[in-house]
Amino acid sequence: MRKRFANLKYQEKVFLKLLKKFTAPDKRQIVKAWEMAKTEHLHQKRSSGLPYIIHPLRMSNYLVKKLKILDADFVAATLLHDTVEDGTINVQKITEEFNQTVASLVNGLTRPAPPQETEAQKRINKVKKFQELLQNGQDVLLIKAIDLLDNLTSWQYIAPGHPDVQKFPRWFAEAREYYLQIAQKAHPQIYRDMQRAVPKTIKKIQRIHHLI
């Protein structure tokens, strides 16, 4: 399971297999979103060192395989959820290339970061975004909850000595305070998975990185 989670080729294989569940028009939209996401995240890496595209890919696989959601707009928005925040496109571009539903979902998931945002500023700004998300619609919360669950699971792949290890105290606080709240409002299955993942992952990370 551990190797599969961090294996891009495996995740792509699952993604292509799940595509068979969709109609031809829906499949074209999803593949288009996948290609756009790959372009926007080209050369970007996760804190784990893995190609960034594995993150939205895993999320879309979870959405379809585990939650049984076969809505092409949801899958497209999941694949594109970080493209405005971390890429070169804007919400208007997504509207033009897809539709208003996909664009609205991506917009709801986007947190524009101020230039040269410090860790202290990020702590404050992310709390505001979490609070805003909790007031958002069910659709946005669903994708955000999957995003948080995938991020949480991926923490164990960050190598000792990586600069992001310093962020763990903030991440742990956010997980305890907001991840479960968001997951609970989003979907029962995500909430169950998050309940298991939060304490287990935090304990594991503390052991790996010798954190108190």
- pLDDT of 118 > 90? The answer is no
Q: What is the mean pLDDT of residues 161-179?
A: 93
Angstrom distances, CA of residue 117 to CA of 43, 110, 167: 22, 16, 14
CA atoms within 13 A on the CB side of 99: 9
Assign 112 a pLDDT band (cuts: 50, 70, 90): confident
* Residue 80 pLDDT: 98
Q: How many Cβ atoms are within 10 Å of 75's Cβ, its own excluded?
A: 29
> Helix count (H) and strand count (E) of the chain?
13, 0
pLDDT of residue 175 exceeding 70, the answer is yes
Determine the pLDDT at residue 113.
78
Closest C-alpha among 54, 66, 25 to residue 192: 66
pLDDT score, position 211 = 86
**Mean per-residue pLDDT, 166-184:** 94
User: Which pTM value belongs to this model?
Assistant: 0.95
Burial of 67 (0-12, 13-18, 19+ CB in 10 A): middle
The residue-averaged pLDDT of 12-33 equals: 98
pLDDT at 36: 98
- In this prediction, what percent of the chain has a pLDDT beyond 90? 84
pLDDT of residue 2: 63
Which pLDDT belongs to residue 71? 98
Residue 207 clears pLDDT 90, i.e. is over it: yes
In the three-class reduction of DSSP (H, G, I as helix; E, B as strand; rest coil), residue 159 is classed as: coil
Q: What is the mean pLDDT of residues 134-157?
A: 95
99-104: long-range contacts at Cβ-Cβ below 8 A with a sequence spacing of 24 or more? 99/73, 101/73, 101/77, 102/33, 102/73, 102/76, 102/77
- The SS3 of residue 45 is strand
Where are the domains positioned within the chain?
1-110, 114-212
- pLDDT number for residue 204: 93
CATH 3.40.50.2300 holds for 1-110 = no
